[in-house]
Amino acid sequence: MNATATEHLPVVVVGAGPVGLAAAAHLLDRGLEPLVLETGSAAGAAVREWGHVRLFSPWGEVVDPAAEKLLAPTGWVRPDAASYPTGRDWAEHYLQPLADALGEHVRYGATVTGVARAGRDRVLDAERETQPFVVHVDHADGRQERLYARAVVDASGTWRTPSPAGADGLPALGEHTAADHVTYRVPDFDDPAVRARHAGRRTAVLGSGASAFTALASLADLARTGEGTDTKTVWVLRRGISANTFGGGEADQLPARGALGLAAKAAVEAGHAEAVTGFRTTEITRTADGRPVLVGEDGRQLDPVDEVVVLTGLRPDLSFLSELRLALDERLQAPVALAPLIDPNQHSCGTVYPHGHRELSHPEQGVYLVGMKSYGRAPTFLALTGYEQVRSVAAALAGDLASADNVELTLPETGVCGGAGLPLTSVATSGNAEPVTAGQGGGCCGS
């Protein structure tokens, strides 16, 4: 990119979530002008949608150093480093104050609909690298705008593109028709309407990651209350239950993450959740009274349920980047140099190698996918990873390659990967179990 032609332009950051706001703080610290575009009406809009869920990382691991430096003059005080925030706590007590400190560098109600080189589509080579980026934006008030940028940092995450129930990665037959009984979010049982949908009823939970564990544990808690004594849960897994299905337990260096897996395990062993293994959903039919019925590729039909909670992972929305030249792994949809480092078939949350701007770069110089979006379909992302990513990217954009290349990252282990798992115990299941050994599918943080 021709620096003299674009140096007066801002670095556009897509998304005012934890990593996007951290990117803006690092850019400011480097003397660069960030412009954060957030589709929601407040900082951490996606985080607020799962605000009832408690993080398994404590406050000490979810606050970025550059962000804390920016917040210090405002009188902000970091919450107790050892306590665990909910998503709502994170948004209200950190993300929103950080966005407020960034002031005019953050714009809300601004949805990015496209990014390209000015006057150049994906095909055209001529003088491509000398042109600024053009960012197409739809505003909440109906206005449309084109903004120019020296670089683009996409921290928009994957929250708004959940994976479907279909085991082949596509929606199951009838999934859209059954939409009034299907959700892709962990239920918030503080909401009376949500409690009423599940209390005393039968819910199917699809998935095997932290979100599924949270749903299983919450439904078990509901079953123990007076209003929910008849609450039943069917836990639908594509694979079997093995030594590492429930994570690291007491061996997990993030105790809250280990405890979550143990709570899900307890829900199954106590009979609050029936595990159906080796079940790959291909269709959702309806009974005469409209209740969903899951149908597997092997022809099995589960008993009717009242609600289906699909927690099978997330995936990146790449549609607004279609005119850029990105190098993405064919499986994970992550940057090609990063993909081998985060492959869930080989790595857990704690075994990811340090990485920065070089692993996040693309043939289109000046474009970076960071945060959860950089992981594509890999489910092993932690906030600490994103903060180091954007520190490196900001240093690279400022021309400080020595600092940008000096990436350091120490992540907490799950205690299960590489074969050091929990002892295999007997858990009540039904179906055709398909055991998975450590490093052979899903990873210890996967869905």
* pLDDT number for residue 350: 56
In a domain, 142, yes or no: yes
**Are residues 332 and 195 part of one domain?**
no
* pLDDT number for residue 210: 86
Q: CA-CA-CA-CA torsion for 276, 281, 284, 289, nearest 10 degrees? A: -10
**Are residues 347 and 256 part of one domain?**
no
**What confidence category does residue 326 fall into, taking pLDDT thresholds of 50, 70 and 90?**
very high
Q: Give the tens place of pLDDT for each residue, 77-119.
A: 999 999 999 999 999 999 999 999 999 999 999 999 999 999 9
Average pLDDT over residues 186-211: 93
Cβ atoms within 10 Å of 225's Cβ, excluding its own = 13
Least confident of 157-166, 239-248, 401-410: 239-248
Q: Give the tens place of pLDDT for each residue, 331-350.
A: 999 999 999 998 887 765 55
Give yes or no for residue 176 having a pLDDT over 90: yes
For Cα atoms 331, 280, 158, give the angle at the middle one, nearest 5 degrees: 45
**Are residues 110 and 35 part of one domain?**
yes
Average pLDDT over residues 189-215: 93
* pLDDT number for residue 435: 29
Which of these, 200, 198, 172, lies nearest to 187 by C-alpha position? 198
Q: Residue 267 belongs to a domain with what CATH number?
A: 3.50.50.60
Domain ranges, residue 155? 3-160+314-405
In a domain, 136, yes or no: yes
Give yes or no for residue 447 having a pLDDT over 60: no
Which of these, 180, 133, 47, lies nearest to 365 by C-alpha position? 133
**What confidence category does residue 218 fall into, taking pLDDT thresholds of 50, 70 and 90?**
very high
In a domain, 440, yes or no: no
In a domain, 13, yes or no: yes
**Are residues 142 and 255 part of one domain?**
no
AA letter at 24: A
Q: Is 185 exposed, middle or buried (0-12, 13-18, 19+ CB in 10 A)?
A: middle
**Are residues 189 and 113 part of one domain?**
no
Give yes or no for residue 140 having a pLDDT over 80: yes
**Are residues 111 and 219 part of one domain?**
no
Give yes or no for residue 177 having a pLDDT over 50: yes
Give yes or no for residue 444 having a pLDDT over 50: no
- The domain tally of the chain equals 2
Average pLDDT over residues 255-282: 86
Q: DSSP state, 354? A: P
